[in-house]
Structure 1
Amino acid sequence: MVNDQPLVLSASVEHWPIAGTFTISRGAKTEAAVVVVELVQESVQGSFRGRGECVPYARYGETVEAVVATLDAAKSSLKRGLDRTALQRAMPPGAARNALDCAFWDLEAKRAGRPVHALAGLPAPAPRITAYTLSLDTPDKMAEAAARSAARKLLKVKLGGDGDVARIAAVRAAAPQSDLIVDANEGWTAANLEANLAACAAARVSLVEQPLPAGRDDMLATIARPLPVCADESVHDRASLGALAGKYDAVNIKLDKTGGLTEALAMVAEAERLGLQIMAGCMVATSLAMAPAMLVAQRARFVDLDGPLLLARDRANGLQYRDSQIFPPTPALWG
């Protein structure tokens, strides 16, 4: 745009303590390391700033250092006019593109004086019921955690170890009224898959996420699944949807996997066309990472955007959580 200055990108690493310890089948952590992108543009209308947040994930070969390096390398492309549309081709799906894509959306909204949902041609987002995650632990410890959260409408139960049949039974007994999602994080095997699925069905679990390792999940197409099974690690963007046929009933769409809101919204439409249920998921991060995902959540059967609830504190102007509901962001946060 004439008289506009080139976009200036900065990327910073932030460490947010987790309240206690967050444990899944692959291990435990006590903090969330996130990368925050800020895009600033000076124009004749004034100075505008857009932000995005991502979580580099070792499971996908990402590191904080590599993500920051990727973003730093994009500075020269921005000077040559890289925009959000071109970004989809210039950078592969993943955490780095997610942060930059979401920063572009935020900047566009600030410049236009219109919310992101309007720019995307979507209705205004409404509050949604979000899951609250229970970390993997012993059956007794998980039952105690479930009892403390039994008033919540939707609980996500981390499994993926020996003794999962006892764990899910203990959680169900402690939270008899809550809707339950189970996430095995690739932790089950061909030997225990059917027994664990049967235990989940007996416990009235509504959905099981990623029971088998990605790339070793063909067995899901050969058994009678007693409840819906959702792909997480087995699905990233639209290009990966085709491989799910016959194995999965739902997809967990996370912006750190899709590479941002742009691809996530396109992936929602394609997944719906294929007859797959939608789950809106997240990594453990602050409200800045959850805010764009609220637009995906509007089309989701299951919403799991509880990242800030797992932290010891959230950033300023964070999302509002009330009981089991999560509310859309204000422009002071994003969008």
Structure 2
Amino acid sequence: MTQTQRKIRIRAESHRLTKPFTISRGHKNTADVVVVEINDGSRIGRGECVPYGRYGETLESVTAEIESIKPILEGSSNKLSHTFTRDDLQTAMHPGAARNAIDCALWDLEAKQIGLTVPDRLGLRPRPLPSAVTITLDTPARMAQAAKQLLNKNSEKKQLVKVKLGGEDGFAADIGRLSAIRDTAAEATLIVDVNEGWHPHDIISHVDALKSFNIDLIEQPLPADNDDILKDIDLPFCADESVHDSDDLNHLNPGYDCVNIKLDKTGGLTEALKMLQLARKKNLKVMVGCMVASSLSMMPAYFLGLQADYVDLDGPIWLEKDRENGLHFVHDQISLPTKPLWGWN
């Protein structure tokens, strides 16, 4: 079989945010992404990833990783006798941001080549999808004010709010933040995201206090290598940093009721779909999450989100300017434009 000659383009981009995005590990003022374009001579598939600093990824390291596989992906290497596929990609690269950009670019290219959209291939019907809106780490008063603004924008619906905690000022300050937010947003559905920022004794000593806030999910409260005690605590925990791909699900702490699937962790939509199916078999709830990025990152995750219990895909609303034909955000509802920038023919 004659191998198709492709051309690969890789570029790093930095998108300014409307305001700082702050979590327990620090804050950012830009969304730094790597974009991959795969050109087969007449069509171009695009994918975007966000280097995961938590795991030592940078714009430079992710770009270098993609460059290293570029000859095989383009077909200029003699290591394969066929056109490089997404199946080849799963064994050629480890999970992570670099593989995500390539995997999503291949999905996009395939949609254009075969004339069939990604949701059609997956048997999904796009629809407006409720998404969590994030309140980043700040003082209790400012976080409560942010919650109030969210509720004012969407007064007719029960808002899904994701609250970033794990500040350097300690667990007691986080309890103050939760109290202030609950005073303002008593009826909101609340997800708490700690980004590994608490200590075991914090949770053990304050189970009743945490239960009093009626939290739907407590996401990754402890470091991934120190979360054993969660299995003995009756609170709704969601794994993020503790689970990356489907292999990790086989060793997941039984204390977790839910897993957060992010394409930059799984290494693309292909593995994310596999992971979602396995999570269902294990009776786990599924959240589809994101990094702060453009709609080019978010659209593959949107289609995954059509099958999830919780969706947290508000990344583009933090950008000063999203890409053309990106996802539409109206309050907490996300939907597709008439001709989406990704996954369409």
1:255-282 deviations in Å (ceiling 9; x for gaps): 0000000000000000000010000000
How far apart are the structure 2 equivalents of 1:8 and 1:330?
28
Distance 1:296 1:195, change over 3 A: farther
Asked if 1:60 corresponds to 2:55, the answer is yes
Asked if 1:236 corresponds to 2:244, the answer is yes
AA of the residue aligned to 1:99: A
Asked if 1:70 corresponds to 2:65, the answer is yes
SS at match of 2:256: coil
How far apart are the structure 1 equivalents of 2:127 and 2:87?
27
Asked if 1:269 corresponds to 2:277, the answer is yes
Distance 1:53 1:266, change over 3 A: same
Asked if 1:157 corresponds to 2:163, the answer is yes
Distance 1:211 1:266, change over 3 A: same
CA contact (8 A) 2:327 2:340 kept: no
Asked if 1:313 corresponds to 2:321, the answer is yes
1:99-155 deviations in Å (ceiling 9; x for gaps): 000000000001111101222x32223221000000111111111111111244111
CA contact (8 A) 2:43 2:109 kept: yes
1:35-56 deviations in Å (ceiling 9; x for gaps): 01101012xxxx1010000000
Residue of structure 1 equivalent to 2:133: 132
AA of the residue aligned to 2:34: V
Identify which range, 56-65 or 73-82, moves more after superposition: 73-82
Superposition deviation, residue 201 in structure 1: 2.2
Residue of structure 1 equivalent to 2:267: 259
How far apart are the structure 2 equivalents of 1:252 and 1:9?
30
SS at match of 1:235: coil
AA of the residue aligned to 1:172: R
How far apart are the structure 1 equivalents of 2:322 and 2:209?
36
How far apart are the structure 1 equivalents of 2:207 and 2:339?
42
How far apart are the structure 2 equivalents of 1:157 and 1:196?
18
1:73-115 deviations in Å (ceiling 9; x for gaps): 1211121432111000000000000000000000000111110
CA contact (8 A) 1:54 1:99 kept: yes
CA contact (8 A) 1:169 1:199 kept: no
Runs of 4+ in 1 over 3 A off after TM superposition: 194-200, 328-332
Q: How does 1:16-95 map to 2 (within 5 A)?
A: 16-42=15-41, 47-78=42-73, 79=75, 80=77, 81-95=83-97
1:156-193 deviations in Å (ceiling 9; x for gaps): 00001321111011111112222110000000101211
How far apart are the structure 2 equivalents of 1:16 and 1:159?
25
Superposition deviation, residue 204 in structure 1: 1.6
Pick the aligned partner of 1:183 from 193, 198, 217: 193
Residue of structure 2 equivalent to 1:104: 106
Superposition deviation, residue 332 in structure 1: 4.1
Asked if 1:116 corresponds to 2:111, the answer is no
Distance 1:138 1:67, change over 3 A: same
SS at match of 1:156: strand
CA contact (8 A) 2:228 2:253 kept: no
Pick the aligned partner of 1:328 from 333, 336, 344: 336
Identify which range, 65-74 or 92-101, moves more after superposition: 65-74
Residue of structure 2 equivalent to 1:174: 184
Q: How does 1:282-293 map to 2 (within 5 A)?
A: 282-293=290-301
What TM-score, normalized by structure 2, do the two folds share? 0.91
How far apart are the structure 2 equivalents of 1:115 and 1:167?
43
What is the aligned-residue RMSD (CA, Å)?
A: 1.5
AA of the residue aligned to 2:255: K
How far apart are the structure 1 equivalents of 2:33 and 2:209?
36
Residue of structure 1 equivalent to 2:80: none
Residue of structure 2 equivalent to 1:214: 224
Superposition deviation, residue 17 in structure 1: 0.9
Identify which range, 190-199 or 64-73, moves more after superposition: 190-199
AA of the residue aligned to 1:73: S
Aligned residues with identical type, % of pairs: 50
CA contact (8 A) 1:291 1:334 kept: yes
What are structure 1's unaligned runs of at least 5 residues?
none
